[in-house]
Chains A and B, each alone.
Chain A
Amino acid sequence: MSISMNSKTQSFLEIDNLGKQYAGVDALKSVSIDVEEGGFLVLVGPSGCGKSTLLNMIAGFEPATTGDIRIAGKSIADLHPSKRDIAMVFQSYALYPNMSVAGNIGFGMETRGVPKAERLKKIDEVASILQIEPLLKRKPAQLSGGQRQRVAMGRALVRDPQAFLFDEPLSNLDARLRVDMRAEIKKLHARLGTTIVYVTHDQIEAMTLATKIAVLKLGELQQVGTPDEIYNAPANTFVADFMGSPAMNRVTGQLEFSQGHIDFVVGPYRLRLHEPSEEHREIAARSGTVDFGIRAENISEESGAENTGAAGNALSLQVDLVEPTGSDTFISTKDEHAVFTARIANHVKATVGEKVELFFDMSKAHFFDSESGRRIP
């Protein structure tokens, strides 16, 4: 706490150029992420992207090849896992099978020589926070998945650490319970205000929980930002494709000047850019190729107030697939030039094989370099 605080968002957990090599292969390539105190960092990416490696390095189970990790300004990279003042919730919960729930929660205090009376008091406290008081005497084998999850969280909670690490904690639960536990973790974070690093491959978990998301691919950091930044301004096509369900529509075509505006052109279709940037103009000047991206919710059957008057944002497309989800209906269109998925209101009837008029909210359009995948701002 004696460290000078020059700004309110002084980073608390600093991952500084962290790298990891296994037998000459980069598992993690020089990753740097800062998290503010009380922040909720979600590491997300497909399997093999290095997110679990990074978490294990923060926990201290795997030594770093290069770089440093600091908490509150102090390097923890050379400390034993038990000395880092970090608690972890494991994917398999890793509850000690031979101990009761209370024994599991209290084991850390037991090894640190905390007197029994104090231990019992803290176990009770944590049990009441997580509402597992009736389970304290049971063995892990007698618990359901959700209850085990709570006990695993209790074991972390009782430590009152500087940071929590969560390794895909919800991946073993059924869909319904996952949603409930997700909400509980979020409430718990709001209540405790402790910094959390959370690994998941589920982009919805990432969006709902995080104050900051880091997207990884093959050991390389793709983008770090708030959920809003990641979703609305993905840094490249990988992030754009990974975040959001259904995946962002993407079509390769040209940017061209047309009557003082810039249009995205693919086959017979033209869509007019909302507020083209300098870079868009440069590409349009040489009729350059770009990847156009737009999310399903930004294509609809209604022109929308913000779009009225903006010409060139409607296309007539042939319906290929209709998927009602109850609240909304997703329709997919397909021809030789482009495939789009649009989210439309559930009361609108669409028939496969017929043409529909769809409106594109071009203020929400994304453009990427068609070769490197980099976002064109």
Chain B
Amino acid sequence: MNSASKLSFGRIALYLVLFVFAIYYLLPLYVMLVNSFKPLDEIRQGDMLALPQAWTIAPWASAWSTAQIGVQATGLKPYFMNSISMVVPAVLLSTLLGALNGYVLTKWRFKGDGIVFGLILLSCFIPFQIVLIPMARMLGILGLAGTTSGLVLVHLVYGLGFTTLFFRNYYAAFPTELIRAAQMDGAGFFRIFTRILLPSSGPIIVVTVIWQFTNIWNDFLFGASFADVDSVPMTVALNNLVSSSTGVKEYNVHFAGAILAALPTLIVYVVSGRYFVRGLMAGAVKG
């Protein structure tokens, strides 16, 4: 009985703390959501926390398709598409190449593989700002300056360090006897990779995809530095929307735009979040 009462007191304290923290973290989202459904004059009355008196989706429609961004009134839609056509290939390619790197570094060891891995890993620790000018020069030489392909390349190169690290650690725990059995069965390098290794890599693929998707989607620096008019990603467009200096500040439109920009990563987390945790745990236990 004594322990039960102690436990319940502890529980109450725990839930209280958790509740406070949950409110603390959810409050900004609440403010954004609530105000994105209000007409502008309601916001001007000053009560940010109040629910809308007259619900409206006009700010959302405006943010998506008519708001002034930079000099054009296109809304965020074209930039959303820019981001998609940048993120999807960049995530897929960096994940696939990371898996291949991990496979070679663990199952096809060669002389100096440790050094190669060390060098790849080092790229994770180079600050973005350092490479901006050399990268701009490289993109210029390759003729990719200002294009979506150029951004894909930049994100691919920068993501490779992390994706290689993820897959290398995962495959290090993968039994080498399986590779040998497949070799004996006559399977070559790529068949072993596609038939044996990749089908067993579900959790780590999910982890890598979430990681890469979030990073690339949320990137602002590379987008602001290397994108041209027709390849500007969502994050840069959102910035331009918010900092447009003509007329009044349409806070409700800004809030709606910000949520639109955050929506894809949110969806990725909700859909595959449990795999994310599971994958991280698997790595932690085995690694």
A-to-B contact residues, CB < 8 Å: 59, 61, 80-82, 86-88, 90-92, 94, 96-98, 107-108, 111-112, 155
Contact = CB atoms under 8 A, between A and B. Distances in A.
B178 A81 contact: no
A61 B181 CA distance: 10
A90 B186 contact: no
B196 A96 contact: yes
B186 to A, nearest CB: 4
B185 A59 contact: no
Contacts of B195: 96, 107
B249 interface: no
Nearest to B191: A111
Contacts of B47: none
A88 B181 contact: yes
Nearest to A90: B177
Contact of B177 (A80, A92, A108): A92
Interface string B183-204: 1111100010001100110000
B182 interface: yes
B186 A108 contact: yes
Contact of B184 (A59, A92, A96, A98): A59
B177 A98 contact: no
Given A97-B200, A98-B200, A107 B177 contact: no
Nearest to B197: A98
Given A97-B200, A98-B196, A98-B200, A108 B185 contact: yes
A94 B185 contact: no
Contacts of A90: 177, 180-181
A94 B177 contact: yes
14 contacts: A61-B183, A82-B185, A86-B184, A88-B180, A90-B177, A94-B180, A96-B195, A98-B196, A98-B199, A98-B200, A107-B182, A107-B195, A108-B186, A111-B186
A94 B199 contact: no
B175 interface: yes
A111 B196 contact: no
Given A82-B186, A111-B187, A111-B191, A94 B200 contact: no
A82 B183 contact: yes
A155 B182 CA distance: 11
Please report whether the interface of chain B is mostly helix, strand, loop or mixed according to DSSP: helix
Contact of A82 (B175, B177, B184): B184
Nearest to B180: A61
A88 B178 CA distance: 11
Given A81-B183, A112-B186, A96 B178 contact: yes
A88 B184 contact: yes
Contacts of B185: 82, 107-108, 111, 155
A82 to B, nearest CB: 4
A112 B187 CA distance: 8
Most chain A beta-carbon neighbours within 10 Å: one of B177, B196, B199: B177
B137 to A, nearest CB: 44
B180 A81 contact: yes
Given A98-B196, A98-B199, A111-B191, A91 B177 contact: yes
Contacts of A98: 196, 199-200
Contacts of B178: 94, 96-97
A97 B173 CA distance: 14
Nearest to B185: A108
A88 B186 CA distance: 13
Nearest first, the 7 A-B pairs at minimum CB distance are: A108-B185, A98-B199, A94-B177, A94-B181, A82-B186, A111-B186, A90-B177
Contact of B187 (A86, A87, A107, A155): A107
Q: Interface range on chain B: under 10, 10 to 19, 20 to 34, or 35 or more? A: 10 to 19
A81 B180 CA distance: 9
Contacts of B177: 90-92, 94
Interface string B105-120: 0000000000000000
A94 B187 CA distance: 14
Contacts of A91: 177
Interface in B49-103: none
B13 to A, nearest CB: 42
The listed residue with most A CB atoms (<10 A of its CB), out of B181, B191, B199, B200, is B181
Nearest to A103: B195
A91 B175 CA distance: 11
A112 B182 CA distance: 12
A96 B180 contact: no
Nearest to A80: B183
Given A90-B181, A96-B196, 9 more contacts: A61-B183, A81-B184, A82-B185, A82-B187, A88-B180, A94-B178, A94-B180, A97-B178, A108-B186
The CB with the most chain B CB atoms within 10 A, among A80, A87, A94, A155, is that of A94
Nearest to A92: B177
A82 B191 CA distance: 14
A59 B183 CA distance: 10
Contacts of B183: 61, 80-82
Contacts of B196: 96, 98
B176 to A, nearest CB: 9
A82 B186 CA distance: 5
Contacts of B200: 97-98
A150 B220 CA distance: 56
A111 B180 CA distance: 14
A214 B61 CA distance: 81
A91 B183 CA distance: 16
A94 B175 contact: yes
A134 to B, nearest CB: 23
A227 B207 CA distance: 54
Query: Which of A92, A98, A112 has the largest number of chain B CB atoms within 10 A?
Result: A98
A56 to B, nearest CB: 8
A87 B175 contact: no
Contacts of A86: 184
B48 to A, nearest CB: 52
